[in-house]
Amino acid sequence: MSTTFVYMLEEQVQAAYESFRTFQNNFLPGIACGFDGGDVFHVYTSAPKVHIAGYPCHSAIQFLIRMPDTEESLAIVTKICKTKFGNNPKPVVIVLLAAEEKRLEHRVFIHISGQFREGSLKFIPEQSELYSRSKGLLETSILENCRVGIVGLGSGGSTVALELAKAGVGNFVLIDFDRMELANISRHICGIGDLGRYKTKAVRDLLYARNPYIKVKTAEININTNLEKTNSLLKDCDLIIAATDNDRSRFNLNQIALQYRITTIFGRAITRAAGGDVLRVRPYQGPCLACIFTNDFLKSRPDEISQFRQARSQNPDYVSEEEVKATIQVGLSCDILPISNMIVKLALVELSRGCEASGLVSLAEDLVADFYIWANRRELSYANYLKMGYGSKTPSILRWYGARYDRDLTCFVCGDQSQSFLLEDNIFAG
């Protein structure tokens, strides 16, 4: 028979041991989940932050003065099993721990189908070790201390959040007021198991599943009507990702970027996700959103309309519900992914900036443009593109193009006027 693996969080074992040492608390009930007919178990001392999968099982953690031999161990776990769990048909996972000469000895036994078998206990390490693999390319110690604000957790923003967590970013602020609905399932990283939940919280749990030690703050607010709250949530971020689905929120985030001088990356898909664009706003150094997202520009590259709320807010009161519904044209998840991926790369370049040791130095040399255009299909504003073929000299689908846009000094949002001093008779001060 193959080995049964049992996983525990190192941090929880540590805390349990402290409680044993301080309060002589030698028995702890555990929470366990089993997988694949008893092949793998996960044991927790308290409800985990991550999604629980598998099927629920009984579990206990017993501290001992010394680790006994197999015969004695079996006697101990048999007794625990009988007194604590009776004749329950469910599997029972019992972890034995003993601190011997500054070493934590451990054994684990699983009671399944009326028999005990010994498993192999594995510990899920702390963050620094979890992400040591990407060291060298990414300066994980720097990313661990970074705080990234992500506003909008639809199919785009949620993927960006997950990728940044995987890259080792240690702190997140997630803002969105939407809940997971059936219509989202086909494109979102969260699935049916998260229906009805706020996207912020569902995504947070997915991030914890990658790294239980990251810090995630969530806010279920509409930033357009809660600007002050949004300011206070984002002002200490090192980077902001604007992945919302409407211009009003983008312009509000542009304003926050300027107010607190935080580099902000805007990403969006255009109609039916035929393509998309990514804009990096370096406050007062490059163009701001308003420098580029002019009316003419937006008319030539209108947003992808993926849900009713978004469509309604983009139409005047007198447009009927039916007409509004007709404007919803959803693109494919695989057409959103390249846009999210570009946002992630720009984000990692920004977060690693100034760090010589970063393996992204050469990437930073390539990503000098502030605005990037992507085409998924030769339609709409890309209808005139030549077929991809073999060359690479003319614009084609499935390639990124950096477009040169300079800061517009006459821009009413970021131009010289916007940096004027506040006057003596400032009637707008609180």
Partner 1 sequence: MGWSSVQQRRLQAERKILSRFFPSFEWISPNDNNNTKVEGNVPTNLGNNYTLRIYVPSDFPNSRPDMVVTSPHPLRGFLGQDLIHYGATSKMHTLKPRDGFVKICHHKDWQPNLTLYLVILKGRIWLEALEAHKRSGKYIADFLCEMQ
Look at residue 186 and give the partner it binds from Zn ion, partner 1, none, a contact being a CB closer than 5 to 8 Å depending on partner kind: none
Q: How far apart are CA 213 and CA 127, in angstroms?
A: 6
Look at residue 389 and give the partner it binds from partner 1, Zn ion, none, a contact being a CB closer than 5 to 8 Å depending on partner kind: none
Tokens of 89: 């048909």
- Element (DSSP H or E) covering residue 247: helix 247-260
Of 182 and 423, the one with the shorter C-beta distance to partner 1 is 423
Look at residue 258 and give the partner it binds from partner 1, Zn ion, none, a contact being a CB closer than 5 to 8 Å depending on partner kind: partner 1
Of 55 and 251, the one with the shorter C-beta distance to partner 1 is 251
Answer whether 164's CB lies under 8 Å from 157's CB.
no
Contacts of 27 (CB under 8 A, 6+ apart): 60, 61, 62, 63
Residue 417 CB, nearest distance to Zn ion (Å)?
A: 11
Residue 253 CB, nearest distance to Zn ion (Å)?
A: 13
- Element (DSSP H or E) covering residue 278: strand 275-281
Residue 130 CB, nearest distance to partner 1 (Å)?
A: 38
Residue 148 CB, nearest distance to Zn ion (Å)?
A: 23
Look at residue 426 and give the partner it binds from partner 1, Zn ion, none, a contact being a CB closer than 5 to 8 Å depending on partner kind: partner 1
Look at residue 224 and give the partner it binds from Zn ion, partner 1, none, a contact being a CB closer than 5 to 8 Å depending on partner kind: partner 1
Tokens of 127: 């963050």
Contacts of 366 (CB under 8 A, 6+ apart): none
Residue 328 CB, nearest distance to partner 1 (Å)?
A: 19
The count of other CB atoms within 10 Å of the CB of residue 394 is 10
Look at residue 228 and give the partner it binds from partner 1, Zn ion, none, a contact being a CB closer than 5 to 8 Å depending on partner kind: partner 1
- Element (DSSP H or E) covering residue 79: helix 70-80
Residue 413 CB, nearest distance to Zn ion (Å)?
A: 5
Tokens of 74: 């079996």
Q: State the residues that interact with partner 1 by CB under 8 A.
A: 224-225, 227-228, 231, 248, 251-252, 254-255, 258-259, 290, 293-295, 298-299, 316-318, 411-413, 417-420, 422-423, 426-430
Q: How far apart are CA 125 and CA 129, in angstroms?
A: 6
Q: Which residue has the tokens 């049992």?
A: 6
Of 58 and 250, the one with the shorter C-beta distance to partner 1 is 250
Q: State the residues that interact with Zn ion by CB under 5 A.
A: 288, 290-291, 411, 413-414
Of 159 and 254, the one with the shorter C-beta distance to partner 1 is 254
Residue 379 CB, nearest distance to partner 1 (Å)?
A: 23
Of 263 and 358, the one with the shorter C-beta distance to partner 1 is 263
Of 180 and 242, the one with the shorter C-beta distance to partner 1 is 242
Look at residue 251 and give the partner it binds from Zn ion, partner 1, none, a contact being a CB closer than 5 to 8 Å depending on partner kind: partner 1
Residue 343 CB, nearest distance to partner 1 (Å)?
A: 21
Of 162 and 242, the one with the shorter C-beta distance to partner 1 is 242
Of 231 and 271, the one with the shorter C-beta distance to partner 1 is 231
Q: E strands, 176-274, where?
A: 215-219, 239-242, 264-269
Contacts of 95 (CB under 8 A, 6+ apart): 6, 8, 30, 43, 59, 60, 61, 62, 106, 107, 108, 121
**If DSSP codes are grouped into helix, strand and coil, which group holds residue 296?**
helix
Question: What region does 398 belong to: left with phi over 0, alpha with psi -120 to 50, or beta?
Answer: left
Look at residue 103 and give the partner it binds from Zn ion, partner 1, none, a contact being a CB closer than 5 to 8 Å depending on partner kind: none
